[in-house]
Amino acid sequence: MGPGGMSETGDGAQPQVFVVDSQASYLHVPVQRRTKWAWDGQKFLLLLVGLTVIGLFVEGFLINNLYQRTRGFSSCNHLCKNMSGPSLSSQQGTLQGRVGSKDPSNVLGENDIMQWIKNAEASIQHEWFQKRPFAHLLGPSHVSGEDDVVQWVTDGETGIKNMQYKEGRLKIQEDGHYYLYSKVQLIGVEECKLIQHKVMKNTSAYGMSIDLMQSKSNRCWIPKQQSAKTTQKEELWSSFLAGIFHLHNGDEIFVTVEKTENLRPGPTENFMGAFMVSP
């Protein structure tokens, strides 16, 4: 053993030295609790988005329902501005008063609005029927007529409104669909002949008359043997024509009968008429 108590061979224990690197990076292990909080936040956000979408759908449904309820009143208000009758004006005031009322018992419902609209439409239709053109002619007072045109009577039980009559012809003054009708009664002739009954039209679009309706028949007068109990009777033939036609302003409607001298005079046996059924 050498001096200082050390072994000669140098096998004495050496002190251990540790060096700490302050710049070394550390690996952070994620905390399980923070991950759970993030997932809970995402679920809450999705819930808010879902509630927002549902709210939009509900709001759209309510707006559409409100629109459907107020649409009838909007139509009614449009009609109200075109009403001139006193009854409709009073109904309009009552309707608007109920719409603006704050009394729950006086609030105007959808059924009330629809009923008012129906009443307004009925009133408009009634007013139109009062103003629509029509004519009803009787006769003839005499059987003579140029070009076999029947001449009608314009007094007594006859009537003409928003139309003109001249020399057997009715002149249309308003475009529309018209119902035309005519009835004639003729006395049978001794010789068998073809009898024609026509309703005709003159229009500025054509240079000649147009047949609208006609009927034809071969009629003969058959003499009957008289006796003490029987008297000689007339052989009569009746024809009735009717139809709906679209007519224009300026068109002329008239009736022709071949051999007008064979017409049996009288207001109930012969007549002609026309009236508008729709614009």
Q: Indicate whether 29 pLDDT > 80.
A: no
Residue 191 has pLDDT above 80, yes or no: no
The pLDDT assigned to 133 comes to 92
Lowest-confidence region among 99-103, 155-159, 193-197, 252-256: 99-103
In this predicted structure, the answer to whether residue 69 has a pLDDT above a threshold of 90 is no
- The confidence score (pLDDT) of residue 83 equals 45
Q: Which of 162, 168, 166 is nearest to 276 (CA)?
A: 162
How many Å apart are CA 78 and CA 83, to the nearest integer?
9
Q: Which CATH class is domain 134-223+233-278?
A: mainly beta
Range among 38-42, 44-48, 211-215 rated most confident = 211-215
pLDDT tens readout for residues 120-178: 767 666 666 678 899 999 987 665 567 788 888 888 788 899 999 998 899 999 999 99
User: In this prediction, what percent of the chain has a pLDDT beyond 90?
Assistant: 23
The residues near 230 (Cβ < 8 Å, ≥ 6 apart) are 224
CATH 2.60.120.40 residue window(s) in the chain: 134-223+233-278
Per-residue buried b or exposed e for 22-35, using 16+ beta carbons within 10 Å of the residue's own CB:
eeeeeeeeeeeeee
